[in-house]
Copies of this chain bind each other. A is one copy, B any other.
C-alpha cells in the first residue's frame, strides 16, 4: 500500500534566475544558503546552453546531450531532497528551438540561464533521502 508522507508549505519564493548561471547549482546553492531541506519548484524562461539526459532502463545508464544556442525553457519541474547530507535537485526540462520544436529529458548541470523565473516551495515534514535502488539503478527516495 502506498504511504506517501505529508508536507506543510513553509516559505514560497518567486524570483528571477541569475543570468549565465547553471540551473542545478543555482537552486542547490540557494537551498544550502537558506537551509532548505525539501522543496518543489517550477521555472520558465530561456537558456543559452542546455544539457539533459535519458536513462536507459536496461543498461541502467544515462546518456546526456548538450547544445548551445537560444532555447526557450517550455517547462522545468523538479524537487529538492537530500543526497549525502546536502540538498540535491532532481528536475526534468523541456526546451523549444527557433521553430518551436521541443526536446527534453532529465536536467543535467551545465544548463545556463539566459533569463528565467522560478517558483520554489519549501516543504516541512519527513526528509526524503536518496539511496541507491538496486532494481532501477537510480538514487531514489526510500
Q: 4 closest Cβ contacts across the A-B interface?
A: A4-B15, A4-B13, A100-B103, A57-B70
**Inter-chain contacts of A52 with B (CB < 8 A):** 96, 100
Oligomer: number of copies: 3
A84 within 8 A of B: no
Bin chain A's interface residue count. 35 or more
Are B104 and A100 in contact, with the CB atoms below 8 A?
yes
B92 x A73 contact (CB < 8 A)? yes
Q: Which of A52-67 contact B (CB under 8 A)?
A: 52, 54-58, 63, 65
Cβ-defined contact, B114 with A105, below 8 A? no
**Contact surface of A with B, Cβ cutoff 8 Å:** 1-9, 11-16, 18-19, 26, 29-30, 33, 38, 40, 42, 44, 46, 48, 52, 54-58, 63, 65, 70, 72-75, 77-79, 90-94, 96-106, 114-115, 117-120, 123, 125, 128, 133, 135-136, 138, 140-141
